[in-house]
Amino acid sequence: MKLKRTPFWNVMKAIAYREPLEKFKEFLEQLKAKGFILHDNGFYYKEAYLAEARETLKMYAHLVHNHTVDVDVRSYFYMKSAFPDHIQKLSNKMYTALIVDGNFHKAIEFSKEIEETHIEPMVVIHTSVIKAYLKFSKTKGALEAYLAMLAAGVAPNSVTYTVLIKGLSANPDFIGDAKKYLLEMMDKGKRPNAATITAVIEGFAKQEDKAAEEEGKEFVRVMMDKGFVPNVKAMMEVLRGRPTAVIRRAMSVVLSTLKQ
């Protein structure tokens, strides 16, 4: 019988989640012995990177089965797990985002890593978790997911920062965190795009508060001291369609600082 790919995918995730690496390898050998060709069924794992492959599958199983994970996020990944090519699509989106933002060298490194290991980088999964929390307007959960990513030793790339910062900026209670991580992004030599910078400045503008406006101006000054001058024209494009009052306050924060 020619069996479908999904049952094997689910079993592999279950073994990766609950069993040690040797059991995972043993299962793959049993598949091969029965004539199941991995690369013909979408599994391109190389022997040298089986430990990494197991960690990727284990992470996805954790998101679906661990009840410490938020219920909406678990449901989201449970639905996505029905499509084994979901991880690959996330990687393609991240690669495209790196290119669009002008991070060509990072995009090439990202692509080469996948080509060499045949495994989707863990940064893809962690970034998708942050995005999932934000999808359900759970900003605190997104921030905790980012901190968990760091604790796991996974370094964020510019796409991770973009997703996190824009999400934090949308919640007035987290605008301070948005500013913090945008400056962290800059300190690590990653150039934020216009949408990311605008999101933080817009967050200050939406507060309709003089103190918030002054904090926004100070943020722009610090940003400029780091060599990042806001692109006014690009910001205007991002702000198109926003309430006039928000656009006016946001541009006032930037323009008044640029004139100093």
Is the pLDDT score of 37 beyond 70?
no
Q: What is the mean pLDDT of the chain?
A: 87
How far is 136 from 125, CA to CA, in rounded Å? 17
Residues 6+ apart with CB under 8 A from 201: 216, 219, 220, 230, 235, 250, 253, 254
Is the pLDDT score of 8 beyond 90?
no
Are 208 and 172 within 8 A, CB to CB?
no
- pLDDT tens readout for residues 62-104: 888 888 899 999 999 888 876 767 777 888 999 999 999 888 9
pTM of the model: 0.84
Q: How far is CA 7 from CA 2, 11, 82, 83, in A?
A: 12, 6, 10, 11
- pLDDT tens readout for residues 168-185: 999 999 999 999 999 999
Closest CA to 253 of 221, 200, 217: 217
Are 257 and 224 within 8 A, CB to CB?
yes
Q: How many residues does the chain have?
A: 260
Type of residue found at 206: K
How far is 186 from 208, CA to CA, in rounded Å? 27
- pLDDT tens readout for residues 194-245: 999 999 999 999 988 889 889 999 999 999 999 888 899 999 999 999 999 9
User: What are the residue boundaries of the structural domains of the chain, listed by start?
Assistant: 1-70
Is the pLDDT score of 48 beyond 70?
no
How far is 99 from 50, CA to CA, in rounded Å? 29
Is the pLDDT score of 115 beyond 50?
yes
Mean pLDDT of 57-61: 83
Q: Tell me, what's the pLDDT at 41?
A: 45
Residues 6+ apart with CB under 8 A from 42: 5, 84, 85
